[in-house]
Amino acid sequence: MNLKEFVLCRASEEIYKHCVATGEMAADLANHHGLDVQKARDAGLLHDAARSLDDATLIREADRLGIEPSDIERDNPVLLHAKVAARMARYELGITDREILEAIEAHTTGARGMGKLARVLFVADYAEPTRDMPGVETVRALLPDHLDEAVVLILKNKMDYVRRRGRAADPRSIELWDELVKKVAVPEEPT
């Protein structure tokens, strides 16, 4: 089974289209930044392979795949889709490339120390052309050159979003924010 078939049989049509668009944007960003284009495309295609699963199924799949959910993931199981998708890629497709697996696992929350391919996927997932949300145009305006600035702005947008909904930001996002905000300027949102 090829990667597109793997995702197509697990994802809704909308999520499948998002995965394809994310893979293409990740490939373009990877090319611009001197990274392996095929790895970026594969990570983008696979990143949301578990996104169509409901909360109960995500929890069962996490348990089956040996994933111990964090407290935040228990409270918001949709966050598990990234870890579940990475394990599915590893165990069901035999993907062992650490960069691809890291990128898939970190695409939702980010993670301290994540590599450049993971940052490419993090940005592509948020900014691919079918996405339409507040702040996405500001992120797109930073691309392709200002990858880390885009990551910081996306983290800011995501953490603001979850806090407005009365939830705590994922510690992985906070750790990545703390790591990157020392290195790059935080872009301002236009008023």
Contact 27, 39 (CB under 8 A): no
Structure tokens at 99: 């960069």
Classify residue 79 by its DSSP letter.
G
Residue partners of 54: CB distance under 8 A and separation at least 6:
none
61 occurs within a structural domain = yes
Q: What is the domain-level CATH number for residue 45?
A: 1.10.3210.10
Count other Cβ atoms within 10 Å, centred on residue 87.
20
181 occurs within a structural domain = no
159 occurs within a structural domain = no
115 occurs within a structural domain = yes
Tens of pLDDT, residue by residue over 124-174, are 999 999 999 889 999 999 999 999 999 999 999 999 999 999 999 999 999
Tens of pLDDT, residue by residue over 62-101, are 999 999 999 999 999 999 999 999 999 999 999 999 999 9
Which position has the token pair 């970190």? 106
Confidence of residue 186 (pLDDT cuts 50, 70, 90): low
Count other Cβ atoms within 10 Å, centred on residue 105.
25
Structure tokens at 110: 């980010």
Q: How far apart are CA 43 and CA 120, in angstroms?
A: 10
Classify residue 11 by its DSSP letter.
S
The number of angstroms, rounded, from the C-alpha of 100 to the middle of its chain's C-alpha atoms is: 11
Overall size of the chain counted in residues: 191
The secondary structure element, H or E, covering residue 40 is: helix 37-46
Q: Which domain holds residue 70?
A: 3-133
pTM, 2 dp: 0.94
Which position has the token pair 């980010």? 110
Could you tell me the sign of the dihedral formed by the alpha carbons of 166, 177, 19, 91, in that order? negative
Q: Is the pLDDT of residue 187 over 80?
A: no
Q: How far apart are CA 142 and CA 78, in angstroms?
A: 28
Q: How far apart are CA 66 and CA 60, in angstroms?
A: 10
94 occurs within a structural domain = yes
Q: Is the pLDDT of residue 190 over 60?
A: no
191 occurs within a structural domain = no
Domain count, the chain: 1
153 occurs within a structural domain = no
Could you tell me the sign of the dihedral formed by the alpha carbons of 163, 146, 133, 108, in that order? negative
53 occurs within a structural domain = yes
